[in-house]
Structure 1
């Protein structure tokens, strides 16, 4: 199976707090493959969000992030990322924790590793 195909439409999924996420972090699922967990989501941080309490994170999947609007600061790196910036992370890459003074909205694509065929 794969993510269900769909033509242009207005997403109907509600904004929800992801499991274990800090206060102020929300996601709207645009598409998900229930078998692999691969997903495309919109993610937003409310103004003033601070994820310091959860520390830096690592995922077991590839992650692409495109900042649509606003900004967020990686406290570990001391760098602020703004609209139009893009990240591509391999599984296990450390990132965060984050703060967002003004709030941020991002497109996030998560792809779990698939076995390579020879």
Structure 2
């Protein structure tokens, strides 16, 4: 598991993402927002992925 000291937002454009901790898989169109300190990951993308990620340290 990892954490960050910033807000992390992501939008999965294409491909897939598997969050290994809960064992959940997500496909295109998935939006995520993680607060600073929120535990998540690790994740994998078996089919590859295109992801837009925004990090905000404000």
User: What's the TM-score bracket when you normalise by the shorter of the two chains?
Assistant: over 0.9
Structure ranking higher on relative contact order (CA contacts 8 Å, 6+ apart): 2
2:47 counterpart (102, 108, 118): 102
Q: Matches of 1:68 and 1:78 in 2, distance apart?
A: 20
TM-score normalised per structure 1:
0.47
Q: Which residue of 2 aligns with 1:68?
A: 13
Can you give the 5+ residue segments of structure 2 that lack an aligned partner in the other structure? none
Can you give the 5+ residue segments of structure 1 that lack an aligned partner in the other structure? 1-55, 114-118
Higher strand share: 2
Structure 1 residues 9-57: Cα deviation after superposition (integer angstroms, max 9, x where no partner):
xxxxxxxxxxxxxxxxxxxxxxxxxxxxxxxxxxxxxxxxxxxxxxx21
TM-score normalised per structure 2:
0.93
- After superposition, the CA RMSD in angstroms is 0.8
The size of the alignment, in residue pairs, is 58
Q: Matches of 1:100 and 1:85 in 2, distance apart?
A: 13
Please identify the structure whose Cα radius of gyration is greater: 1
| Deviation >3 Å, runs of 4+ | none
